Structure 1
Amino acid sequence: MKPRKRLQTLFVLFLGILIGTGLTLERISQADREVSSEEVSIPYEQLQLFSEVYSQIKGKYVEKVSDQKLMEGAIDGMLQELDPHSTYLTKDMLREMHVETEGKFGGLGIEVTTENGFIKVVSPIADTPADKAGLQAGDLIVRINGTPTKDMNLMEAVKKMRGEPGSKIKLTVVREGFEKPRDFTVTRDVIRIESVDSRMLPHGIGYVRIKQFQQDTGAKVREQIAQLKDEQKGSMQGLILDLRNNPGGVLSAAVEVADAFVKQGKIVYTEGREDSSEMTLRANPDDVLSDKPIVVLVNSGSASASEIVAGALQDRERALVVGTSTFGKGSVQSILELSDGSGLKLTTARYFTPQGRSIQARGIEPDITVRPLEVSKPEQSGERLTEKDLPGHLMNNGGSGQPGGGEGAKKDGKTPTYLEDYQLNQAMNLLRGIILMETKKAS
């Protein structure tokens, strides 16, 4: 029987800083993105109003403003009215976006969005400067090197936070429990994200942690599981797949990871307004673990591609999902190249788990809830930010391993052992129970 039956029971865009929680569906060329006037009606009256406002600003504003600044501001304004993950990409941003999927970029290693005119932390990426400096999900960045961020454009904030590796930046943070804002000094660095770590735990249990879904993540997962099996001389008894604080990444990578453990059926499907936004992705008939039990660890920092994997393994009854509710980002972004070399990251579809669940602003609920056991000072407490907290979010429509994740990790930058990571320890105990049950049945 599968684990659940045995026990009866989310822009990704790294520009030195990770903006939003993204899942990239496809890259659409300038030719493909053209839309005929027959498909979209032109609102001439509204455009005339826009032209009037534009002329008044150009002629009467107290200072001269460039056409480029005004037009980019107008585009930003349109996209901000849609959802937190749709955004305009300048030429440089579009070029640098592809660095993220290669796992190497410069900056702080922090994922941010906007909320009520301020810059808000979605999640610091594990083992990056931001994480080591003590920044936490939900932190509100109110000043960058002394400059207030109130009503600051997100792209402007990103530009201020980027810089040469080794240089320092001071972020003034408001956090629930803080009596007053506090300053965090972060040293910029070139961030190299190895997307997959693995190691063997006691009792023949393998451990694989995915920090981020990159183009080669699926292949790396298969490689490292093969290495673990060789290390155990083929006697690996089960696997813990750690997706905690994994903000997502590339859709194809998430599908490849889930496909490594699922033999048949749907992994994920997407629905959008255009035919090109609708697809169903299915599993190939193989399982790298040969039906050995799996526990998937998740938390509120598990988003997007992480939720696809967790949802697929849960719906297919292939794994037991353990931890806390996930972020709840169930939308897909496409990259549309524009005629001048810039681009749009535009939300074009929702994705669904194999059983048709949309997790947008809802998240994946674990089969067994295990909260991190952590003694903290009052100012360190506070709720984690999730997709439903983002302004304008879409509505729901229907070894060399580093075990643990941010919620179970030490704040001194050192990775905890499985004995120090309460969630990981509990996951291992659950998996041991499943293995023992199967051993008794077989004997």
Structure 2
Amino acid sequence: MKFAKKVSILFLYLLTVSSSTISEEQEISDLNTSRTKSEHSRLPLKELRAFTQVFEQIRQGYIEKVEDQQLLQNAITGMLLELDPHSAYLSKQEYMNLQENTSGHYGGLGIEISAEDGLIKVIAPIDNSPAERMGIRAGDLIVEINGSSVRGLALPRAIEQLRGEKGSSIDLSVFRDGEDELLKFNIIRDKIYTSAVESRFLRPGFAYIRISQFQKDSGEDFVETLKKLKGESSNNLKLLGLILDLRNNPGGLVPAAVQVADALLDNRTIVYTEGRMVSANVSFNSNPGDLIPQIPIVVLINGGSASASEIVAGALQDHRRAVIVGTQSFGKGSVQTVLPLGDGRAVKLTTARYFTPKGRSIQAQGIEPDIIIPKVNSQIPIQKERLRESDLEGHLAVQQQLDKASAIELEDLNNDNQLKEALNILRGSRLFRTSGSET
């Protein structure tokens, strides 16, 4: 039967596909090295026969005509969909979307999503994206897109529907924990240019670096930013402490995360991965030298910190290089590899689990902060101060240089209790170290 032979050849091709790949999260050069010939030959012929019979029944009896190519594509999609929330078949457009996402330039809403219980879960909105500006939050469940239910919708299809040309609009119905009714959002898509690394000084000597996601150049950008801050400490003071903000960072490329951790660790294990194939078992170690040795570090995380973010936080926590502050992270401890199939299509396949240096699996557990500080959503009120000498007209001028923070920095600290506490922890650790050195 020609059709059965055609389907068998298709499945053989999928099982033996070459893997000179690019990866969403990790480059693994050859996924076939650990497979034996006997493994390739163990095809479930009974199930293949059932597949061809079902396929033929659909072709002959389904109420509407469906092209053979579409039926086969649906079968591949379903095969991967049932594995885990992150494995997926990628059409040409979806593969292009993935490549655009890791480059940091695409048209859409600016959210990282995953599949959960047949719905679409928001891992995190990207900083200053249309989604964030309209109030989409980490943990939201997207129930409908433009009035159509997303239940059973494959993740790549959802991504394709959420993206679009700048200026086009989209309607989302969202379930949010604690809300009695679905929340409705009309969001105007925009061109997403994600500047993944941002920095400034919160106080003289106390630096703040925000990484919104781990893109191709994020590791290099972080290293350059850290060197710049180290050389430009405010008010001619040396660098006294660093806050690394990974909140709502949905992850991205493992090499970028490894490069960030490498800059802060001295010849230590960063992360290791384990999978069924020999090439999926990899250990990543930092090079000798810490760019800011003995400088205290606080890392901020929350439920939107996932995957590559958890690699960085886990490594710094295990080696006691940083104090982890905030709330429990997302808990994505798996690595996906993208396998090109030819003709612009690809398969994104979960190939390994990753573990922190102490052997902790983060999968479905996340990173537990050293200091748990829930986010206070309401603005922290700025207290009215009493009249002071500096408020009096004609007061004597101050002779020493004042510790002045910009209006933006003050607003950030007043509106962000986690960031404010992180700064207090850094300043407190500095105070204790200074006090101890004098006794």
Which bracket does the TM-score occupy, shorter chain normalised?
Answer: 0.7 to 0.9
Matched, 1:417 2:412: yes
2:423 to 398, 423, 428: 428
Residue 285 of structure 1 deviates from its aligned partner by 0.9
* CA gap 1:151/1:278 in 2 versus in 1, 3 angstroms: closer
Instruction: For 1:262-411, list aligned pairs within 5 A.
Output: 262-375=265-378
Matched, 1:437 2:432: yes
Q: Which has the higher contact order (CA 8 A, sep 6+)?
A: 1
Query: CA separation in 1, counterparts of 2:425 and 2:311?
Result: 23
Query: CA separation in 2, counterparts of 1:163 and 1:96?
Result: 10
Instruction: For 1:67-146, list aligned pairs within 5 A.
Output: 67-146=68-147
Query: CA separation in 2, counterparts of 1:36 and 1:51?
Result: 26
Query: CA separation in 2, counterparts of 1:203 and 1:245?
Result: 26
Q: Is the 8 A contact 1:23 1:248 kept in 2?
A: no
Matched, 1:238 2:241: yes
* CA gap 1:115/1:283 in 2 versus in 1, 3 angstroms: closer
Instruction: For 1:10-49, list aligned pairs within 5 A.
Output: 24-26=25-27, 37-40=37-40, 41-49=42-50
Match of 2:383 in 1: none
Secondary structure of the 1:240 match is strand
Q: Which runs of 5+ in 1 are unaligned?
A: 1-21, 377-400, 405-414
Query: CA separation in 1, counterparts of 2:33 and 2:83?
Result: 18
Secondary structure of the 1:141 match is strand
Q: Is the 8 A contact 2:24 2:338 kept in 1?
A: no
Count of aligned pairs between the two proteins? 388
Query: CA separation in 2, counterparts of 1:431 and 1:284?
Result: 26
Q: Deviations over 1:130-187 (max 9, x none)?
A: 1111112333323222233333343333333222101111112233343333321101
- Which residue identity does 1:244 align to in structure 2? R
Q: Is the 8 A contact 1:210 1:242 kept in 2?
A: yes
Query: CA separation in 1, counterparts of 2:285 and 2:55?
Result: 50
Q: Is the 8 A contact 1:249 1:305 kept in 2?
A: yes
CA RMSD of aligned residues (A): 2.5
* CA gap 1:210/1:33 in 2 versus in 1, 3 angstroms: same
Query: CA separation in 2, counterparts of 1:176 and 1:323?
Result: 19
Larger radius of gyration: 2
- Which residue identity does 1:95 align to in structure 2? M
Query: CA separation in 1, counterparts of 2:343 and 2:33?
Result: 13
* CA gap 1:369/1:108 in 2 versus in 1, 3 angstroms: same
Q: Is the 8 A contact 1:23 1:331 kept in 2?
A: no
Query: CA separation in 1, counterparts of 2:222 and 2:120?
Result: 34
* CA gap 1:428/1:264 in 2 versus in 1, 3 angstroms: same
Q: Is the 8 A contact 2:266 2:286 kept in 1?
A: yes
Secondary structure of the 1:94 match is helix
Residue 416 of structure 1 deviates from its aligned partner by 4.9
* CA gap 1:35/1:280 in 2 versus in 1, 3 angstroms: closer
* CA gap 1:154/1:317 in 2 versus in 1, 3 angstroms: closer
Match of 2:209 in 1: 208
Deviates more, 1:203-212 or 1:130-139: 130-139
* CA gap 1:145/1:225 in 2 versus in 1, 3 angstroms: same
Q: Is the 8 A contact 2:241 2:296 kept in 1?
A: yes
Match of 1:191 in 2: 192
Query: CA separation in 2, counterparts of 1:331 and 1:186?
Result: 31
Match of 1:12 in 2: none
Residue 109 of structure 1 deviates from its aligned partner by 0.7
Secondary structure of the 1:246 match is coil
Deviates more, 1:345-354 or 1:335-344: 335-344
Query: CA separation in 1, counterparts of 2:82 and 2:65?
Result: 26
Q: Is the 8 A contact 2:33 2:277 kept in 1?
A: no
Residue 52 of structure 1 deviates from its aligned partner by 0.3
Residue 28 of structure 1 deviates from its aligned partner by 5.2
* CA gap 1:261/1:156 in 2 versus in 1, 3 angstroms: closer
Deviates more, 1:237-246 or 1:217-226: 217-226
Deviates more, 1:176-185 or 1:330-339: 176-185
Residue 246 of structure 1 deviates from its aligned partner by 0.3
Q: Percent identity?
A: 49
Secondary structure of the 2:330 match is coil
Query: CA separation in 1, counterparts of 2:408 and 2:263?
Result: 21
- Which residue identity does 1:363 align to in structure 2? G
- Which residue identity does 2:108 align to in structure 1? G
Greater share of residues in helix: 2
Q: Deviations over 1:31-68 (max 9, x none)?
A: 96996652231111110000000000011111111112
Q: Is the 8 A contact 1:301 1:326 kept in 2?
A: yes
Secondary structure of the 2:133 match is helix
* CA gap 1:75/1:416 in 2 versus in 1, 3 angstroms: farther
Match of 2:15 in 1: none
